[in-house]
């Protein structure tokens, strides 16, 4: 049985991961669809920006977010005037996680768009369907199972994010402390190995479930 503290950690982790996926979803779909096109101006730049969080250290990503969206940052100061704060909040943890999972999310969805038969787009074009009509009525429905698989994979990845979250949102119990941050916190305490082991096993099981669900959805997509 999970303790009340562990349930709180799980709740925070799920909230952060779910919001990270939902916030990044429309941008991931747009970027994936654009990158799945044969060629267009700026494709290399978009591809590089999309994969930047994989190349940069997660702590650096969190630091950049802190400099931009902290209370004294150029964007954070404007948001603070409107009563919106990201730094050291659960929303900030979700935002940092969304940035870190974005490359994985885009790649999963991009593969679905690239697997779509180009002849269907040509047929829709012959029938005088506009770009938005072709996207909404052809590309998006056919890529639907792949998008769902990408969401599951992104969610599982989000549950394990550490560096960017602890830098931008800190490690505040009951507020921003997710599973990886909780494992790190208890390891700093004398005799915390047993609790860290419990949390690590829970994190491991959730990751396996996420991978299994994504694999099942991908198989379903192939059959469709």
Cα first-last separation, the chain: 40
Residues of the chain whose pLDDT is less than 70? Answer: 117-131, 136, 218, 220-224
Q: Which of 18, 10, 65 is nearest to 181 (CA)?
A: 10
pLDDT digits (tens, 9 = 90+) for 68-80: 999 888 999 899 8
Contact partners, residue 151, CB within 8 Å, separation at least 6? 21, 25, 105
CA distances from 29 to 36, 99, 203 (A): 10, 14, 27
Closest C-alpha among 210, 179, 171, 176 to residue 196: 179
Residues 120-156: tens digit of each pLDDT:
666 666 556 666 777 767 777 878 888 888 898 899 8
Tokens coding 98: 């969304």
What are the structural domains, with CATH classification, of the chain?
Answer: 4-223 (1.10.3720.10)
Q: What angle do CA 218, 221, 223 make, to 5 degrees?
A: 115
């Amino acid at each position: 049985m999970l303790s009340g503290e562990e349930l709180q950690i799980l709740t925070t982790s799920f909230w952060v991961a779910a919001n990270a996926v939902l916030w990044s979803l429309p941008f991931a779909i747009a970027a994936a669809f654009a990158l799945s096109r044969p060629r267009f101006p700026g494709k290399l730049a978009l591809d590089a920006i999309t994969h930047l969080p994989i190349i940069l250290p997660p702590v650096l990503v969190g630091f950049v977010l802190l400099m931009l969206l902290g209370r004294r940052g150029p964007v954070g100061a404007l948001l603070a005037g409107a009563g919106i704060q990201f730094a050291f909040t659960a929303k900030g943890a979700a935002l940092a996680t969304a940035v870190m999972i974005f490359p994985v999310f885009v790649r999963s969805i991009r593969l679905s768009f690239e697997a779509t038969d180009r002849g269907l787009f040509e047929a829709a074009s012959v029938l005088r369907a506009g770009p938005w009509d072709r996207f909404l009525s052809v590309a998006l429905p056919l890529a639907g199972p792949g998008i769902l698989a990408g969401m599951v994979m992104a969610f599982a990845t989000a549950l394990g994010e550490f560096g960017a979250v602890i830098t931008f949102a800190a490690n505040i119990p009951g507020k921003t402390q997710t599973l990886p941050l909780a494992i790190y916190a208890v390891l700093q305490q004398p005799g915390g190995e047993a609790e860290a082991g419990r949390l690590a096993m829970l994190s491991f099981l959730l990751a396996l479930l996420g991978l299994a669900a994504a694999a099942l959805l991908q198989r379903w997509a192939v059959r469709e």
